A and B are shown apart, each in its own frame.
Chain A
């Protein structure tokens, strides 16, 4: 049975149902009992499961992430929440040196089935330390998986898949998506990690997008359609592993590519996807590849600057037009 839920309700339902079904699942992190920190994504969990399995933690990101990672080694399936991704830098040792390396470093003898949920919390004049999108940092690391759902359906399905995965998974949700509404089945289901999806078929140009920028890409495509430009949209859903084939096949069809990702430009997800396409579909390309991203600058506070900082549907429209202009 399917009905409409918001993105944040879908997250909440995934956690609730997984905790109901599997006693090894528990959730911990800064502010998990505080809507101020995590929106409604954890509402009702404490009342339902109690303080044994719903743990609002001290502000000690490194130690607390280590605790979650250790619990995962002992057969639990923890979800550790970082209510602003920016705070995760404190926990980089536990995420990368420990969680990501453990299975390989010990010859496969101990694995770490932890879900590390990072919330992108930008906008609202929050400036440089409460606004970051760190997917590219984690994409770089062998041993980690990275997912970024853009719809309520995927928010639930990817969270279920992350919790069930036997590896550390970085699950990144964006508060700008929380009130998006969409069809979500009541039962438990998985969206497979590593599989993207075509959101819209088109023949003139491919826009590969992640997370919130998938929504902006959809708006952009509607506007472009009015001008007779037929846009194909690939929602990556997973950044690691990447759905290489889906991207390559789409570019083979359209011959043109714009990549829209909400991280910084240099060394970002767009750079990796661009290299992938040039390496695998070079002869199909009819135009240079363009990236839509954050500029290489920290997030500003002033709303006047924020407006210039975050890419929108219009930024994507401009990029698409530029690629079309420069086509061979």
Chain B
């Protein structure tokens, strides 16, 4: 077990975040199954430790950019749950006023500047906000979350190159869940060495267990400190696995190259169960606290769902609003 000097409050906060993400996604599974939510929804189940561990090191005004699989990052950065649920329902009260859906969550009040569905496209955007920080001299750090599929894109290398060249305050987080849609890494790249791509761009690059929130927290703490201190960018490859389908609620068993056995193996490595065990062992999380947290999260989700269901749809007259500012 990792020996840790992480404050107890932070440990609890990360646990709550992870559980909040998981419960949200589990709720969405049911809503997708009955077609109550219809927009393309990419669930984050199984990857919770990454968003939680990294965002626990970020300030509210630090920038985050996310992908089509954006719920975890939105929740971990402190995005409003009601506005997220309403967005998934296509309601006017959604975080993107019903224009984005699940793939386009945003909350600039907490630094989440957007989530995009074009693979790799938000990596240079994060570098751009870091460049703005450097010019403005305001110490804000940017984090680019992306999947292993994004490292197939040229813009990944373009972005790392420029960030390193100018020593920009940005941290690149690759959530390697082993699949780009349905195609496994070994059929896309000649070696399993994403973290080593950092060496080409002269920045620290490490590979960590993305299902271990303590490891994620500690590795990203160092990278974020370096970025904020003017020591330049880092690349962290977090090994993980998505439990659910690329998109939607099923599990993609035997779609392409994914087997039931493989999914079961990863379910046994549940990041939340492992963290609960650690916390209990440290005497940080009692059974009564656990159920208190659990009930609190269930209440929040219930409230968010009620809010989303009761919110109005956008009016047709709003269709052309906001094409320009």
Chain A residues proximal to chain B, CB less than 8 Å: 24, 26, 52-53, 55, 57-58, 60, 62-76, 78, 93-94, 97-98, 102-111, 142-143, 145, 166-167
Contacts and interface: CB of A to CB of B under 8 A. Distances in A.
Given A66-B128, A74-B133, A98-B116, 13 more contacts: A60-B162, A66-B127, A70-B126, A74-B128, A97-B116, A98-B121, A103-B323, A103-B324, A103-B325, A105-B100, A107-B95, A108-B321, A167-B325
A60 B108 contact: no
A64 B96 CA distance: 26
B190 interface: no
A66 B131 CA distance: 11
A53 B135 contact: yes
Given A97-B118, A103-B323, A73 B127 contact: no
B94 interface: yes
B132 A76 contact: yes
Contacts of A108: 97, 321-322, 325
Contact of A110 (B108, B159, B162): B108
Q: How many B residues touch the partner, as a band? A: 35 or more
B104 to A, nearest CB: 5
Contacts of A98: 116, 118, 121-122, 125
Contacts of B158: 58, 60, 62-64
9 contacts: A52-B135, A63-B123, A66-B121, A66-B127, A67-B131, A97-B116, A97-B121, A105-B99, A107-B96
A69 B125 contact: yes
A107 B114 contact: no
Given A53-B135, A167-B324, A110 B125 contact: no
B22 to A, nearest CB: 26
B139 interface: no
B149 interface: no
Interface string B32-57: 00000000000000000000000000
A53 B322 CA distance: 30
Which 10 pairs show the lowest CB-CB distances between chains A and B?
A70-B128, A66-B124, A63-B158, A107-B97, A74-B132, A70-B125, A60-B158, A71-B128, A67-B128, A74-B129
Given A70-B126, A70-B127, A62 B132 contact: no
B267 to A, nearest CB: 34
Contacts of A167: 324-325
Interface in B101-148: 104, 106-108, 113-114, 116, 118, 121-136, 140, 142
Nearest to A62: B155
B182 to A, nearest CB: 23
A110 B114 contact: yes
Given A75-B132, A75-B136, A166 B325 contact: yes
A67 B124 CA distance: 5
A76 B135 contact: yes
B63 interface: yes
**Chain B CB within 10 Å, residue with most, of A64, A70, A76, A109:** A70
Contacts of A26: 135
Contacts of B100: 105-107
B195 interface: no
B165 interface: yes
A193 to B, nearest CB: 10
B161 interface: yes
A71 B162 contact: no
A111 B106 CA distance: 12
Contacts of B140: 74
B271 interface: no
A212 B178 CA distance: 53
A106 B114 contact: yes
Given A103-B325, A110-B108, A69 B161 contact: no
**Chain A CB within 10 Å, residue with most, of B95, B106, B113, B128:** B128
Contacts of A66: 121, 123-125, 127-128, 155, 159
Interface in B151-170: 154-155, 158-159, 161-162, 165-166
Nearest to B140: A74
B98 interface: yes
Contacts of B96: 105-107, 109
A71 B138 CA distance: 13
Nearest to B137: A52
Given A53-B135, A167-B324, A73 B97 contact: no
A67 B127 contact: yes
A107 B99 contact: yes
A98 B114 CA distance: 10
A30 B114 CA distance: 27
Interface in B291-314: none
Nearest to B117: A97
A319 to B, nearest CB: 34
A162 to B, nearest CB: 13
Given A105-B99, A108-B325, A58 B63 contact: no
